[in-house]
Chains A and B, each alone.
Chain A
Amino acid sequence: MKLTVWTYEGPPHVGAMRVATGMTGLHYVLHAPQGDTYADLLFTMIERRGHRPPVSYTTFQARDLGADTANLFKTALQDARERFQPQAMIVGSSCTAELIQDDPEGMSATMDLGIPIIPLELPSYQRKENFGTDETFFQIVKRLARPMDRTAHVSANLIGPTGLGFRHRDDIVEVTALLEEMGISVNVVAPMGASPADIARMGAAHFNVLMYPEHAEAAARWAERNLGQPYTKTVPIGVGATRDFIQEVAQIAGVAPKADDARLRMPWYSQSVDSTYLTGKRVFLFGDATHVRAMARVARDEMGFEVVGMGCYNREFARDIRALAKEYGVEALITDDYLEVEQAIEELAPEMILGTQMERHIGKRLGIPCAVISAPVHVQDFPARYSPQMGWEGANVIFDTLVHPLVMGLEEHLLHMFREDFEFHSEAGASHHGGAAKLRAVDAAPEPDTAQPGAAQAPAEGEIVWLSDAEKELKKIPFFVRGKARRNTEKFALEKGVSEISVETLYEAKAHYAR
Chain B
Amino acid sequence: MELRRPAPSPLVDNYVVPGDVVLDLSEMNNQTIKLGAGLRQECDTIEATSAGKLRQLKPNKYCIENSQKRYKPSVEDTVLGIVVDTKPDNFLVDIKGPNLAFLPVLSFEGGTRRNIPKFKIGTLIYARVVKANSIMNPELSCMDATGKAAKFGQLKDGYMFDTSTGMSRMLLSSPTCPVLEVLGKKLSFEIAVGLNGRVWVNAPAASTVILVSNAIMRSESLSGIKQRAMVENLLERLS
Please say whether chains A and B are actual partners in one complex.
no
Residue numbers of A with Cβ under 8 A of B are: none
